[in-house]
Amino acid sequence: MPTKMKLTEMNLLRLFNSPDYENLLKDFTTQRFPKKNLIYSPFEEKNLIFIVKSGKLRVYLAYEDKEFTLAFLESGDIYSTHTRAFVQALDDTEILVCNTTKFQQQLSALPEVSLTMVKVLGDLLKNSISTIEGLVFKDVRRRLVEYLIGAAADRGRHTSDGTVVELGLSTEDIALLVGTTRQTISLILNDFIKADFLEKLNRRTLLIKNLSALKDWKDLL
Ligand code: HEM
């Protein structure tokens, strides 16, 4: 027997069928929404939490014509209306809805529910970090690639393995040049190394494996 249940193996709906949960379930009402319906927006007045009974929902931020998906909710997942996100039904969806205060009063007696909240919030956090990465680092990535291409044009040495480039600057100085931190430069360079674009020959020398591929790639950033 496993001593600890994996978060992904847990399903609140299954737990809700056990007698321990009878008390909680009576505070919930079932609501149905058709596919594509916007269920909640950030301006929702009622402070509710809901558990997905069936179907699929999308949690997203929207500004003018831009949207960022933060999480998908499926059967057994839990979410609330007191966040800055929109919630949309992707399929025909059924949810169990409860007032947040009432729900909070019962929560301490139901550790499994908190674990489900952690799973959903973890998902939300993961996607939020990816969104932030895209927004913040994309520009920096492009600027760093431009710096590398410039350095290769200035002082690159072409070899059969690729273009050897003396960086000429410390990571700190490169960071200042492209407007970021030393940590971010290291992070991005490591990503490039993992993706096999680059190889580190020593602390201040890089091998650009395929300069023209890097130039093509820059235009996609
Ligand atoms: C026991 C029930 C709950 C209580 C008492 C509670 C309470 C709160 C409070 C006081 C805030 C801060 C609101 C503000 O800054 O105006 C908050 C934020 C938040 N809660 Fe809850 N919450 C509960 C359940 C949940 C659940 C089930 C979820 C989703 C799994 C959730 C997700 C969030 C998120 C994402 C935020 C940040 C909102 C934002 O800044 O956009 N909460 N919650």
167-203 confidence digits (pLDDT tens): 878 888 888 778 788 899 999 999 899 988 999 999 8
Dist CA 212 CA 197 (whole Å): 11
Dist CA 152 CA 130 (whole Å): 30
| Environment class of 153 (CB within 10 Å of its CB; exposed 0-12, middle 13-18, buried 19+) | exposed
Question: Is 157's C-beta closer than 6 angstroms to any atom of ligand 1?
Answer: no
Q: Which residue has the higher pLDDT, 177 or 85?
A: 85
Pick the residue whose CA is nearest to atom 36 on ligand 1: 83
Task: Kindly state the average pLDDT of the residues 96-113.
Answer: 88
pTM: 0.68
Q: Which residue has the higher pLDDT, 83 or 16?
A: 83
Structural domains in the chain? 7-109 (2.60.120.10), 138-218 (1.10.10.10)
Question: Is 120's C-beta closer than 6 angstroms to any atom of ligand 1?
Answer: yes
Pick the residue whose CA is nearest to atom 9 on ligand 1: 82
Least confident of 42-51, 79-88, 126-135, 198-207: 126-135
- Mean pLDDT for the chain? 86
127-140 confidence digits (pLDDT tens): 888 788 777 777 78
Q: pLDDT confidence of 10, banded at 50, 70, 90? A: low
- Edge-first strand order for the sheet with 162-166 is 157-159, 162-166, 205-208, 198-202
Residue 91 has pLDDT above 90, yes or no: yes
Ligand 1 atom at shortest distance from the alpha carbon of 121 = 30
Other C-beta atoms closer than 10 Å to the C-beta of 144 total 23
Give the HSE-up count for residue 214: Cα atoms under 13 Å, Cβ half-sphere. Answer: 27
Give the distance (Å) from ligand 1 centre to CA of residue 83.
6
For residue 56, the Cα-to-chain-centroid distance in whole angstroms is 18
Least confident of 11-25, 50-64, 107-121, 184-198: 11-25
The predicted pLDDT at position 5 comes to 45
